[in-house]
Chains A and B, each alone.
Chain A
Amino acid sequence: MLKKKRGREGAEIPSSSLADIAFLLLVFFLVVTTIDIDTGIGLVLPPPPDPEQPPPEVRERNMLTILMNERGGILINEQRASLQDVQEIVVRHVTNQGQDPNFSESPSQAVVSIKTDRNTEYEPYIAMLDEVIGGYRVIWNEQARQRGYTDYAAYRRVEGEPNPIRREFPMNISLAEPDPGS
């Protein structure tokens, strides 16, 4: 009696096709997957203007004004500049420490103001913004090296964010509303 019950086919679920099923699923996910890591230039916008409270006054020397017109020409503090100069001028402005009267009094007071025309194209604008942020990056890397790290990324891994370098050299970028343009 017992023998009869147990016999015939095995009571196990056939698992030989498991690998095939897993393979099919794998192929499906391989095909659908787009591992696109989202990268970009991160910024924080200023809060909306309060009509009762005028915007804080910034002394002229602390403000580095970068204008970009519709043809991608750049004016920095009313002087023509090329894209390659932007980074260096930003570094000079922020790390001026009150020496040059045209540049900032201290890194924490330094502001970089960026203004465009409405017709300015996006690509040169991003190229310029990239250079400005590159300037801050040079400063942060330099500061991290002075503190004994290889670069800012290594410093940040230890100190996290916000950290003393970011507090001392904050990235104050002001994005002004564009001129109506022609």
Chain B
Amino acid sequence: MSHFKKKQSGTSQEIPTTSMPDIIFILLIFFMVVTVLREVELLVRQDLTDAENIERIEEKRLVSYIYVGPRILSPGNYGETRVQVDDALVAPEDFTAIQNVMRQRRTEEPRLIVSLRVDYESEMGIVSDIKQELRFADALRINYSTRRAEGAEEL
């Protein structure tokens, strides 16, 4: 018996839990800070392509998104390629609306970056039309949003 006793003696077997709330609080604060709640509901599909020579946008505040892709009619069912800005689809004849929106944002935030989130199946014509509007809106910094290809390093 004494043999067993020796092994167990000394320190208590319980894990100290007094610091648990603190640890949880720190985790909580971390997640609160990094959380970005989704602001828009996507109306177009967003299957981005991969690229290797990508850069990371550090300041998310500066970014405005333009979504391009086949319209989601129902889950798994896609229509023709459309453009979405904020929560609304932009009709092809209303592309000047993009220019107006972006010009206004550009005056509010001169360092504006427009992130073009384009589905891989889109065609360049529509992308180029958007780029023309952005040029006239003087929103010249753009970013073709892509996923990071395997083994890619950020520039």
Task: Give me the interface of B with A, judged by CB distance under 8 Å.
Answer: 20-21, 24-25, 27-28, 31-32, 34-38, 49, 51-57, 60, 63, 113, 115-116, 118-125, 127-128, 131-132, 134-136, 138, 140-148, 153-155
Contacts and interface: CB of A to CB of B under 8 A. Distances in A.
Contact of A22 (B25, B121, B144, B155): B25
A47 B138 contact: yes
A109 interface: no
A46 to B, nearest CB: 7
Contact of A121 (B122, B141, B143, B145): B122
Given A23-B24, A44-B141, A122-B118, A33 B124 contact: no
A117 B141 CA distance: 23
Contacts of A153: 153, 155
Nearest to A135: B53
A174 to B, nearest CB: 12
Interface in A39-53: 39-48
A39 B38 contact: no
Contact of A122 (B35, B124, B132, B138): B124
Given A41-B143, A125-B124, A19 B24 contact: yes
Contacts of A40: 51, 54-55, 57, 115-116, 143-146
Nearest to A39: B54
A26 B132 contact: no
Given A19-B21, A42-B141, A122 B135 contact: no
A41 B31 contact: no
B146 A117 contact: no
Nearest to A129: B144
Given A38-B57, A42-B55, A44-B141, 12 more contacts: A30-B31, A32-B35, A39-B57, A40-B116, A43-B143, A119-B125, A121-B120, A122-B124, A123-B120, A127-B51, A137-B53, A177-B132
A98 interface: no
Contacts of A33: 31, 34-36
Given A25-B28, A46-B135, A129-B144, A122 B54 contact: no
A116 interface: yes
A39 B140 contact: no
Contacts of A177: 128, 132
25 contacts: A18-B21, A19-B21, A23-B24, A32-B35, A33-B31, A37-B56, A38-B145, A39-B54, A39-B147, A40-B54, A41-B53, A43-B142, A43-B144, A45-B131, A46-B140, A119-B125, A122-B119, A122-B120, A122-B121, A129-B144, A130-B52, A134-B53, A137-B53, A137-B155, A178-B125
